[in-house]
Amino acid sequence: MPKIIRQLFIIGNVLLLLSFAAATVRDNRREWKKYQKKFFVLEAKELEEKIAQEQDPKIKESLRPQLIAKKKIRYEIRQMIVKDLNRIDRCVTCHLGMDPLSNPSLTTNFTENPYKGHPGDFLKTHSPTKYGCTICHQGQGLATETAAAHGRVKHWEEPILEPPFLQASCVRCHANFESISYAQAARAGKEFFRHNGCYGCHAIKGWGGVVSEDLGEVASKPLARLDFSSSGLARKDWNIKNWILLHLTKDPMSFVPGDPEGHLGQPIPPSGMPPFYLDFKKDEANAIASYLLSMHGEKMPHEYYVYAPAAPDPALDSAVARGKHVYEKYGCAGCHGVEAKEGRRNFNALGQGQDAAAPDQIAEMAKGREPTLPDTVGTFTRDELKLKIQNGVPSNNIVKFKADGPTPPLYMPAWKEKIKGQELEDLVTYLLSIAKKGEEW
Amino acid sequence: MVETPATAPKIEESPDLLSRRGFMQLAWGALAAFLGGVAANSLRFLFPNVVYEPSQKFNAGPAVDYPLGVSLKWMREQRVWVVRREQGLYALWGRCTHLGCTPSWFGGEDRFKCPCHGSNFSPQGDVIAGPAPKPLWHCKIELASNGDLIIDKAVLENRPGFRENAPYFVDTQGA
Amino acid sequence: MSTPSAPPTQEKPGPNGPSRVPWLEKLLGNGFKLPANPEEIKKEVINSQVWRSVFRGGAWKNTPRDRAAHIIGNVWLHLHPVRVRLRSLKFVYSWGMGGISFWLYLLLTISGILLMFYYRPTPEMAFRDMKDLEFAISYGWFWRNLHRWCAHAMVVTVILHMIRVFLTGSYKTPREFNWVLGVTLLTLTLFLSFTGYLLPWDQLALWAVTVGTNMAGATPLLGNEGPFSSLLGMRINNDIRFGLLGGTAVGEATLIRFYVLHCVFVPVVAGAMLMLHFWRVRKDSFSAAPYAPDEEKFETWPHLISREYVAAALVTVGVIVWSLLINAPLEEAANPTVTPNPSKAPWYFLGLQELLVYFDPWIAGVLLPNIIIVGLAAIPYIDSNPKGVGYYSFKERPFANWMFLFGCALWFILIAIGTYFRGPSWGWYWPWEDWAVHKPPPPSTWSIPNLAGGPLVGLYFALGMALPRLVRKELEWRLAVPTVGILSVAAGLSLKIIHTLLVGKVAFFAKNIPHFGAGAFMLIALFLFVVVFFGFLLPQRYIRNLALPKYAMTMVLVLMMLGVLLKMGARLGFNVKYVFSIPQVNFNI
């Protein structure tokens, strides 16, 4: 037998053993063991201090076996099987202070994660053995490594929710969330959503306008359908929460730029969403996102839902006030501005101060505006205005700034199926009341 | 290979580990260790670290909720009787030590009776009649800091003198 | 076992003098002697009835007879000959690829059986079981990674084995049928790997298998999208794809189906074929390497067995290290309503997926792969060159080697394009480009009118078939190759000049080929050179005198292979959709 075969035999066998040993080491060095060990050490230290301070020797002696038990660390993966929701949550493998079996009080004296107990008294009413963790916090319940468990890895689309976005989880079941003290950001978010007229374009589960996408299941929208390429966000931040926030903190035109000049064939307008970011403070944007993140496609068992009666329309005695309420309720503000002050951006619609000769035509097209109502409603009679609201203005009827530019993305839908009867009368009364005087012919 | 070809001249071997023979022993040893390791690894693989059956450990609720006597509250879900006596609480595993049937509690006669072969057990779990060879098992039971009972069916005891003490017995008199 | 057994040694007194424990030996009586040293214990054990009943042949004395008996008398080793020739023993002859493929097959069996203990083939459980293997089960990640990487490695080694067997001419008489078996085993290997691809039930699995199995729907007659399928009344819920998937789309039924195919059906069939394959190897005197007078022969034990062991051990080290360093991929849970962009088939089918860009599905997905398989299997029957059996030789079989390597290169280039150069919407992305960057949509394609395309195709095949046979003169190679090169460049240049002259004047050019850049010019020159070299120069030089049927079969295969290349060039360079098209019968090329 040649020497080389003998040498390869020796080297091969040694390498086999070494590579196998490496596999064994890797398998035994699981990240969660580190946290379990630290937790037991912390507990033992706490008990030792307690024993040292204890005066009564009898009690002192009775605590000793407990200390010995604490020092005997038995590593194990702990999990909660959440039958109703078909989830397996292994979070308590590291977050031992929140394991309902080993620590039923769910409190510890440690202040640091993952050793601390669960803050608040949520778990008194939401038993973790019944609900688990991820149904509220999201993340990957099956995982036992920090990054993967917190869902901050590739191919996991629901990273752990941090406050205030965590409030979205309350809203998923609690229709009465507006009266829950913890969910105040989500309550504010819902109010902002209404006040700024988001409903005018975005329906939620069928209620609202048809100009843009229904947001009823936006929180579970697959990442494959979102295009972050112009967002400037790092790939690790590509998730639905940031997608919603982008729309509220940046100009949607900047990350959904479309192709207004038609390089790729037909001119395509950028995102039609007006620049709401100019109006929103950071916490307002966060509030809206906290509310929208509750719009999840996953269905819960029906007994999980907490129902609330629909809020009745406020009883207002003046027609103008009622009309103003109708204006807000159907989201007219989305295009025509809060309190109808100023029409919002509509790309390549005719607006003021547009210069067909300017070098940056995209900026000029972006000056396109939806009608500013006080300026325009005065030119209509009451019946004309009613007809206008009922039939809307289809996009091909909107006057373009650049004739060969893209069709403006925003248009007025026909509201005749939604706004009718007394509501329509009140709305028209309100609109005519804000028309600028002195421009009537 | 250890076998040298018949034609090869015999080489004088020194006992040194780095000698040819030492190296061959190292190689064979490594192979044996590798195969043993793979076998052990495969065997370990077959012992799951998580199971999808109800936990052997469960929270039986506040201790104060149990009145004197045998409670059937967890019988159906966990196959465990929680028994409160004057001195305290213990948990009996509802599995006959004869052939594994589930005995029934007859309160009027103050005993458990097994439907399969007629073994009778006292509320302490001792065999009164029938073929059962051993007393019923007592489960590990602990009183958590918030007053809940935590019962672990994986840790069992049935010897008199042991089963009356922690962790198989929760003494509610001292507390 | 024919070796006569040595007589039992019980009666003989121990060779090492007095007894060691007198009282015990007295107690046991009957002249019993305790063994004196380890050597003697070993002897006692080996000579015991139990040992001899299990391992025949008594003590190992390392005689030639012993070593031969070791091979003959061992069921696991007896497919080996007792003695092998040095030439077949050489590593650089076989590269150990067949043996390594089989070893990977065994590793896959072992790791696969272990994985089966945890894996449940249902949409609800399969993905969760993958997560458990990764996060909760001891060594779960190890066996899954090992299984995955062994599977990829096996596809590679089986292909390399085929290339080796081709290059050493080892498929020639009497081994023709074993080559056919080998081609079948290659197909089975790909199918095994492909069926396993679905089992993790993540997005990668679901969509790779969707893409891969959609081709079945394009089968002529039997697939609902294939030509003539209306004759048999094929719909999406009764065609061959439906039969393969157990449904109209990849779903629950497909998962259990692929599971059974992957774990039982294909391994059993492949195992049976393997036995046949090995048996043939053994019967055909083990190695094709030619005999030489007075050739030195080596005993299989230990010379061959030790080499086999070393190769297996090192391959095992390789896959273990691979498993340590890189985890098997696992993406989001399978979601039939979300198609990732791009959705790619497993890498070994990406060549086919790339071909789907250039040809209609039934051609790229059904016809071409079948021609490739049948063409491969036919090689021993159309290659009549008796030389070059059992050794590497470009000199003695230049035509066969050049053509085969060219085909393999084309195949791997297609795979490389599909793997590294295709991004979202199957657009062309360089490997260093970010997939998030949008590419402009592909330019519109155009078709050559049939009146021009038909004659073009006819001319290509007619000239291709006839020219190499008509030119009877032996061409001066050193002159011909540069000439063809220069002519190709000249043709490219003249086309460029024609284009420049006409692009402003003729609407056809302005519409369909507005740009004719350096890339298109180089593409034309290179492709023309390759086509003339492989389609004319090589056949003219080497096979013009072949018997007509074999010549015709060879040239059809060669011209089709080059035709694929030409069509690729026409599409990549000039956006040609079809050269010739009869949509009525789905014949579009």
SS (H, E, C) C545-561: CCCHHHHHHHHHHHHHH
Query: Are residues C174 and C234 both part of a single domain?
Result: yes
Task: Report d(CA C222, CA C236) in Å as an integer.
Answer: 11
Mean pLDDT by 10 residues, chain B (175 residues): 44 52 88 94 92 86 91 91 92 93 92 93 92 94 87 92 88 68
Asked if the Cβ–Cβ distance from B145 to A104 is below 8 Å, we say yes
* Greater model confidence, C15 or A319: A319
Within this chain, do residues A281 and A340 fall inside the same structural domain, yes or no? no
Let me know: does C542 contact C396? Beta carbons within 8 Å: no
Which residue bears the tokens 């010019």? C521
- Beta carbons of B6 and C137 less than 8 Å apart: no
Joined together, the tokens standing for residue A392 give 């809307």
In a domain, C164, yes or no: yes
Same domain, C548 and C480: yes
Could you please report the per-residue DSSP string of A102-143? T-TT---S--STTTS---SSHHHHS-HHHH-SHHHH-S-TT-
The complex scores an ipTM of 0.90
| pLDDT value of residue A332 | 94
Residues A173, A300, single domain; the answer is yes
Q: What pLDDT score was predicted for residue B14?
A: 44
Assess whether A290 and A335 both reside in one domain: no
Chain-chain contact of C138 with B49 (C-beta, under 8 angstroms): yes
CATH assignment of the domain containing C213: 1.20.810.10
Residue A325 counted as domain residue: yes
Q: How many domains does chain A have?
A: 3
Under DSSP, the state recorded for A197 is T
| Residue A193 domain boundaries | 167-304
**Model pLDDT, residue C6:** 46
Residues A297 and A172 in one domain: yes
Q: Note the pLDDT of residue C7.
A: 45
A347 and A219 both lie in a single domain: no
- Does C420 share its domain with C505? no
* CA–CA gap between residue C43 and residue C20 (Å, rounded): 17
Nearest residue on chain A to B26, alpha-carbon basis: A10
Q: What integer pLDDT is reported at residue C440 of this predicted model?
A: 79
Contact A331, A229 (CB under 8 A): no
Give yes or no for a contact between A300 and A173, defined as CB atoms under 8 angstroms apart.
yes
Instruction: Give yes or no for A387 touching B (CB within 8 A).
Output: no
Tens digit of each residue's pLDDT (9 = 90 or more) over C420-469: 999 988 888 999 998 888 787 788 888 989 999 999 999 999 999 999 98
| Cβ–Cβ below 8 Å for A16 and B31 | yes
Contact yes or no for A155 and C440 at CB 8 A: no
Answer whether A17 sits within 8 Å of B33, measured CB to CB.
yes
Residue A92 belongs to some domain of the structure: no
B2 touches chain A (CB under 8 A): no
Tell which of A3, A4, A17 to mutate to test the B interface (max B CBs under 10 Å): A17
At A254 the pLDDT is 92
In a domain, A101, yes or no: no
Q: Is residue A210 part of a domain?
A: yes
Which residue among A8, A228, A264 places its CB closest to the CB of C310? A8
Domain-by-domain residue ranges, chain B? 1-47, 57-171
Least confidently predicted of A301-305, C42-46, C323-327: C42-46
Tell whether A22 is covered by a domain.
no
Q: Per CB distance under 8 Å, which residues of B are interface residues toward C? A: 1, 3-6, 41-42, 44-50
As a whole-number percent, the residues of chain C with pLDDT over 70 amount to 96
**Residue A16: which of B23, B30, B49 has the nearest Cβ?**
B30
Taking the alpha carbons of C465, C467, C471, C476 in that order, is the dihedral positive or negative?
A: negative
Contact: A1, C321; criterion CB under 8 Å: no
pLDDT bin (cut points 50, 70, 90) of residue C51 is confident
Q: Is the pLDDT of residue C561 over 60?
A: yes
Q: Are residues C559 and C465 in the same domain?
A: yes
Give yes or no for residue A13 having a pLDDT over 90: yes
Question: Which architecture does CATH list for B57-171?
Answer: 3-layer Sandwich (2.102)
Chain A neighbors (3+ CB pairs < 8 Å): B, C
Judge: C136–B47 Cβ closer than 8 Å, yes or no.
no
List pLDDT tens digits, range C102-112: 999 999 999 99
pLDDT tens digits along C91-146: 888 899 999 999 999 999 999 999 999 999 999 999 999 999 999 999 999 999 99
Taking an 8 Å cut-off on Cβ atoms, the answer to whether A143 and C131 are in contact is yes
Instruction: Judge if C137 and C248 occupy the same domain.
Output: yes
Asked whether residue C89 is assigned to any structural domain, the reply reads no
Read off the pLDDT of each residue in C75-88 and give the average, rounded to a whole number: 86
> How does pLDDT run across C272-325, given as a tens digit for each residue?
999 999 999 988 888 888 888 888 888 888 888 999 999 999 999 999 999 999
**Mean pLDDT within C58-77:** 84
Residue linked to tokens 């007025």: A412
**Residue A217 to residue A222: CA distance in whole angstroms:** 10
Chain C residues whose CB is inside 8 A of the A15 CB are: 313-314, 317
Q: Nearest chain A residue to C322 by CA: give it.
A: A19
Same-domain pairing of C229 and C359: yes
Count of the separate structural domains present in chain C = 3
pLDDT tens sequence across A178-199: 999 999 999 999 999 999 999 9
Q: Chain B contact for A117, CB < 8 A?
A: no
Residues A197 and A282 in one domain: yes
Among candidates A8, A145, A157 on the partner chain, residue whose Cβ is nearest the Cβ of C332 = A157
The domain boundary, picked from A75, A101, A128, lies at A75
Q: Which residues of C touch B44 (CB under 8 A)?
A: 138-139
Chain A: closest CA distance from residue B167 (Å): 11
Strand-pair partners of A349: A400
In this prediction, residue C107 carries a pLDDT of 96
**Same-domain status, A179 and A299:** yes
Residues A77, B38: C-beta atoms closer than 8 Å: no
**Among candidates A10, A16, A104 on the partner chain, residue whose Cβ is nearest the Cβ of B23:** A10
Mean pLDDT, chain C, rounded, equals 88
Domain final residue, candidates C426, C459, C474:
C426
pLDDT in tens, A317-338: 899 999 999 999 999 999 999 9
Q: What is the pLDDT of residue B18?
A: 55
Are C299 and B5 inside 8 Å of each other by CB? yes
Query: Hey, which residues 94-153 in chain B have their CB within 8 Å of chain A?
Result: 144-146, 148, 150
Q: Structure pTM? A: 0.89
Residue C220 structure tokens: 């002529």
Mutate to test the interface with C, among A6, A15, A86 (most CBs of C within 10 A): A15
Interface of C with B in 272-301 (CB under 8 A): 299, 301
Q: Do C418 and C455 have their domain in common?
A: no
Query: Mutating which of B2, B3, B20, B23 best tests the A interface, going by the most A Cβ atoms within 10 A?
Result: B23
Which pLDDT belongs to residue A441?
45
- Tell whether A300 and A323 lie within a shared domain: no
Sign of CA dihedral C395, C400, C404, C409: positive
Inter-chain contacts counted by CB atoms under 8 A, chains A and B: 63
| Angle of CA points C557, C558, C562, to nearest 5° | 120
* pLDDT value at residue C18: 56
Subunits adjacent to chain C (3 or more Cβ pairs under 8 Å): A, B
Least confidently predicted of C19-33, C219-233, C369-383: C19-33
What was the pLDDT predicted at B19? 64
In the predicted structure, residue C556 carries a pLDDT above the cut 50: yes
Which two three-digit tokens encode residue C165? 């067997």
The 10s digit of each residue's pLDDT in C203-256 is 999 999 998 888 888 888 888 888 888 888 888 888 889 999 999 999 999 999
Domain-ending residue, one of A304, A335, A358: A304
Find the mean pLDDT for residues A306-318: 87
Return d(Cα B52, Cα C125) in angstroms, integer.
12
Q: Write down the pLDDT at residue C390.
A: 86
Whether A338 is covered by a domain: the verdict is yes
Q: C63 and B6 in contact by Cβ < 8 A?
A: yes
Determine the distance in angstroms separating the CA of B46 from the nearest CA of chain C, rounded to an integer.
Answer: 8
Residue C477's contacts (CB-CB under 8 Å, 6 or more residues apart) are: C537, C541
Q: Is B27 on the interface with A (CB under 8 A)?
A: yes
A18 domain-assigned: no
Q: Which of C60, C61, C62, C106 to mutate to test the interface with B (most CBs of B within 10 A)?
A: C62
Give the structural domain span for C554: 450-588
Residue B152 CB contacts under 8 Å (≥ 6 apart), including other chains: B56, B57, B139, B140, B141, B142
Query: Who's near C353: CB < 8 A, 6+ residues apart?
Result: C211, C344, C345, C418
Which positions in chain A touch C142 (Cβ < 8 Å)? 23, 26-27
